[in-house]
Amino acid sequence: MQLETFIRDIPDFPKKGILFKDITTLLNDSVAFKTSVDRLAECVEGRRVDVIVAAESRGFIFAGALAYKLGCAFVPVRKPGKLPGTVHRVSYDLEYGTDSLEMHTDAFKEGSNVMILDDVLATGGTTSAMVELVKKLKGNVLCVAFLIELEFLHGREKLKGLNVHSLIKY
């Protein structure tokens, strides 16, 4: 199945000059969505995954389904102020400014095998921040996986030394 045929281009969203890759059209097709989850599971085939770590919000869609399929836990990474309890926070650079992500300090046990998952790899900033959060809890990053990779933004370069998988590349 050619998953890229289920991705819709939306010009000038969220602002003029950006060609947004809309995944809702893939999510609206049960076979394409199931195929996506199955192919993401192949990234860790033969390895024990204890937890999937994913950032809000679209990454949650795939992470929940994949955690169910793999029989592992799911840990949400969120924007500041969205998680109750004690959190670790990591700030990272954006094209214009900075942003931050948070994860509970007790999200998983030290030494856990972690798969980091998101819908899109763009510049790599969000994923690098998630890797840093996992390392703060002394987790073992098995791989980072994405539905879509925007190769022209060179995000993979920020993830050197990691096992990186993407299902669709533009």
Q: What CATH code is carried by the domain that includes residue 99?
A: 3.40.50.2020
**How much is the pLDDT for 97?**
78
Determine the pLDDT at residue 23.
97
Q: Which amino acid is at 86?
A: T
Q: Which domain holds residue 126?
A: 46-169
Whether pLDDT at 81 is above 80? yes
Is residue 80 included in any domain, yes or no? yes
Write the pLDDT tens digit of every residue in 96-152.
778 999 999 999 999 999 999 999 999 999 999 999 999 999 999 999 999 999 999
Mean pLDDT throughout 65-75? Answer: 98
Instruction: Name the domain count of the chain.
Output: 1
Residue 99 included in any domain: yes
**Residue 164 bridge partners (DSSP):** 144
Whether 93 is covered by a domain: the verdict is yes
> Which among 42, 52, 39, 46 has a CA at the least distance from the CA of 115?
52
pLDDT at position 93, please? 83
Q: Which pLDDT value is given to residue 95?
A: 66
Within a domain: 12: no
Q: Is residue 165 assigned to a domain?
A: yes
Q: Write the pLDDT tens digit of every residue in 26-44.
A: 999 999 999 999 999 999 9
- What amino acid positions are annotated as catalytic residues? 58, 95
Across the chain, mean pLDDT equals 96
Is 156 part of any domain?
A: yes
Is-contact 32 26, C-beta < 8 A?
A: yes
Assess if residue 29 is contained within a domain. Answer: no
Q: Which residue has the tokens 């998630």?
A: 130
- Average of pLDDT values for 49-61? 96
**Domain presence at residue 113:** yes
